[in-house]
Amino acid sequence: MHNKNNIISAIKTKRASMSKSHKKIADFICEHYDKAAFMTAAKLGERVEVSESTVVRFASIMGFEGYPEFQYVLREIIKNKLTAVQRMEITSSKFAEKDILSTVILSDIEKLRQTLDSVSVSDFTSAINTVANSKRIYILGARTCFSIANFLGFYLSLLSYDTKLITTNSASETFEQIFDAGKEDCIIAISYPRYSRRTLSAVKYAHDKGSKVIAITDSELSPIYPYADHKIIASSDMSNFVDSLVAPLSIINAIIVALVMRNEEEVAKKFTALENIWDEYQVYEKPIPETE
């Protein structure tokens, strides 16, 4: 795997020995890698006035098997650097003159496919065992990730796990909430670009205290990845203005279902009792009876 931090310097180093056409590509990428990362080989070639095949050969001389691999590395460089305005510009160009509804849904379906291909069943099973055997489960997700962290926390609490949802209003409050984390506990951290510094700090703290760390994130290059005992990669798309969290939410659904299946009889008894309570206190609206 190519180091995302040295690809630009590698291009600059090789530039002197490049052809005139390849120098055009090199100069554009070094100055505008944030734009080049989301251009097809044909679009990049058009932009610098060279052929698509020349762009593909450029990726090859830089040591990549093809242009898609080269483009992937460029995207990794900017993953945590795109501002909201830049993401909006990319989204605008990406969806221009397209059926937005079908394009977004098909894109999410593709992320689910990628996630299914990348998640290790053994890692997932090990993560479930860790959750089931932990004394307390801390759940952490900052900013947009908080919504799915809250979803997971709600269901784990409903399943009678000792669960603590960490809020990140301030750095000091975050550490106060995980202060008691220890070797018998685990922390489920959900982190996607732009990666939250508070999430990373909290994961480091829990790791140093001996807590098991389960990371739900988008890449091996995610800052929380090195501190995780269990790593679950669920695809996202940092180039869109709105974060796509369909894949990590699906992973969370799978975690909940797996934990239910471990204690199916006990869960059934609890929910039978809860249904009676919900009916007695009219927690939910009763369905409208069908009329003939």
CATH classification of the domain holding 17? 1.10.10.10
- Asked, for residue 225, whether it belongs to a domain, the answer is yes
- Asked, for residue 235, whether it belongs to a domain, the answer is yes
What local confidence, expressed as pLDDT, does residue 35 receive? 80
Domain encompassing residue 60: 7-78
Q: What is the DSSP letter of 218?
A: S
Structural domains counted in the chain: 2
Domain boundary among 78, 103, 123: 78
210 φψ region: left (φ > 0), alpha (ψ -120 to 50), beta (else): left
What local confidence, expressed as pLDDT, does residue 107 receive? 82
Write out the two tokens for 14: 């090789």
Q: How many CA atoms are closer than 13 Å to the CA of 114, on its beta-carbon side?
A: 16
* Tens-digit pLDDT profile for residues 44-59: 999 999 999 999 999 9
| Mean per-residue pLDDT, 71-97 | 61
**Residue 285 CB contacts under 8 Å (≥ 6 apart), including other chains:** none
Contact 188, 131 (CB under 8 A): yes
- Asked, for residue 2, whether it belongs to a domain, the answer is no
Contact 226, 195 (CB under 8 A): no
Same domain (yes/no): 204, 71: no
**230 phi and psi angles, rounded to 5 deg:** -130, 125
Among 239, 216, 17, which Cα is nearest to 107's? 239
Same domain (yes/no): 116, 74: no
Please tell me which of 32-41, 111-120, 126-135, 168-177 the model is most confident about, judged by mean pLDDT.
126-135
| pLDDT band at 2; cut points 50, 70, 90 | very low
How far is 158 from 226, CA to CA, in rounded Å?
31
Write out the two tokens for 7: 């690809």
- Asked, for residue 87, whether it belongs to a domain, the answer is no
Least confident of 93-107, 149-163, 275-289: 93-107
Write out the two tokens for 131: 């959750």
- Asked, for residue 147, whether it belongs to a domain, the answer is yes
Instruction: Say what angle helices 246-262 and 264-280 make with each other, to 10 degrees.
Output: 100
How far is 21 from 58, CA to CA, in rounded Å?
9
**237 phi and psi angles, rounded to 5 deg:** -140, 100
Among 196, 197, 177, 172, which Cα is nearest to 187's? 177
Same domain (yes/no): 59, 178: no
Contact 38, 90 (CB under 8 A): yes
* Tens-digit pLDDT profile for residues 126-149: 999 999 999 999 999 998 899 999
What local confidence, expressed as pLDDT, does residue 110 receive? 85
The model scores a pTM over 0.75: no
Amino acid code (one letter) for 122: S
Place of tokens 């990726």: 59
Same domain (yes/no): 168, 62: no
